[in-house]
Amino acid sequence: MNLITWIARDTYGNWFRPYWFLIFCGFAITIILSWINFRKRHIPTQGLYLGIFVISPISLLGASFFGKYDVNNSFFFFTLFAFWEPGMSIHGGLIFGLITGWIWFGFESRKHDISIWVYADLIIPNILLAQAIGRWGNFFNHELLGAPVPREQIMWLPSFIRDNLFKWFVPDQIPNNFHPTCVVGIGGGEVAPSDFGNVQYFQPIFLYESFANILLWILIVIALPLIFRYSYYWRFKKEEPDFMKLSWKGIWAKWYYDVKPDPMVVNNLSQEKNFKKVYFKNRQKMTKKQVVKTYFKYQKARLKQIFKADVRALEKIENPHRLKILRCGIQTGMYIAGYNIIRIILETQRVDHDLFIKNMRVLDYTILALMIGIGLILILFAQWIAVIKWRKGGWLYEKQY
């Protein structure tokens, strides 16, 4: 019996210790890479430190809730949040974590005049590496396996993976202090894990998702910025006198990042009318009925200002060479769309009990498809809409406006 089989059998029914270790490693690598990104952009890191202690536990509660909720089985409500028990969902953690992070960094955004999409791009794509690491916990637990396959079809895998692509045999009535010694065999019976000819093996969904997450992280964090950075190679070479002397960072700084327009002009272009002062300048003289009526007028004026906003003049003086820039928010949108594309493909290989929304396949696919749509809309919004409508002078976006 190999080491992986022995450890999994010995800890069955308890939270598998290597699983927790891998979760910790996933959290750690996300935090470390995010901290490095904050330092590179000269963003205050105190909000990140405090946010860790706010967002992480709420993410665990969300992962526990969606990992344990099953429409076919009733649970005592509070046990759905017992994150120390088996049953965790990545999507549950993401949903709870993203909502909490949006609120937390929304305050940080206004405090430091930094776009919330800057925070999102510096943190969220790194979650892919945490997910890739965490999926190996599913391997140790013999879970997140796909369709049944003959042993011959998985011979390309290393033996330590191939020989553990089975499910433990668990009886309907689980005895106290139960530790399985047998696995599910071909046809549904119980066989010994070493009986390779009769063990039912399954597709390693955890491996496919882990590998796909790493590739997506490389695309979002490394490849995409490089493509944008080097897309102007021939133009810079033709028009930049010091092309052979300056680094790419130096050339981009000269053409984009170090462009310094008149701050008074930027301030004038960025000013918005303060409707609160306009509509409530005589509030002390208003009756309650007048205050309510004025409030709706105030909100209508604010919405009108938002939808009629146009800051193309600000973009023009901040980007006089009209370079196409990878806008903040793009990487977050790619994460949301890309990861859910991976999931919706792999969901077709999962049994109903292993879905994000257990035993509700149509709803599961619908939510994943909706999240793909949200990610694609965010990409379009960040790259082509927000930049001409809702930028403010003095705030940090791709550069300091």
Answer whether residue 114 shows pLDDT above 70: yes
Q: Which residue has the higher pLDDT, 175 or 107?
A: 107
Helix (H) or strand (E) holding 229: helix 224-230
**227: pLDDT confidence band, cut at 50, 70 and 90?**
very high
**117: pLDDT confidence band, cut at 50, 70 and 90?**
very high
First CA to last CA distance, the chain? 62
Which residues, in sequence order, are CB contacts of 94 under 8 Å at separation 6+? 59, 62, 127
> Whose structure tokens read 């794509």?
125
Tokens matching residue 246? 């300056």
CB atoms within 10 A of CB 316: 13
pLDDT at 77: 67
Q: What are phi and psi of 204, to 5 degrees?
A: -80, 75
Answer whether residue 5 shows pLDDT above 60: no
Lowest-confidence pick of 39-43, 69-73, 130-134, 216-220: 69-73
Identify the DSSP state of 81.
G
Answer whether residue 250 shows pLDDT above 50: yes
d(CA 134, CA 21): 9
**288: pLDDT confidence band, cut at 50, 70 and 90?**
confident
- Average model confidence (pLDDT) across the chain: 86
Answer whether residue 267 shows pLDDT above 60: yes
Lowest-confidence pick of 15-29, 31-45, 224-238, 310-324: 15-29
Answer whether residue 179 shows pLDDT above 90: no
Helix (H) or strand (E) holding 148: strand 148-149
What string of DSSP letters covers 93-118? HHHHHHHHHHHHHHHHHHHHTB-HHH
Per-domain residue ranges of the chain: 3-147+203-231+324-389, 148-202
Q: Report CA-CA distances (Å) from 255 to 38, 107, 239, 267, 386.
A: 23, 32, 11, 22, 22
Answer whether residue 80 shows pLDDT above 80: no
**272: pLDDT confidence band, cut at 50, 70 and 90?**
confident
Q: What is the pTM of this model?
A: 0.87
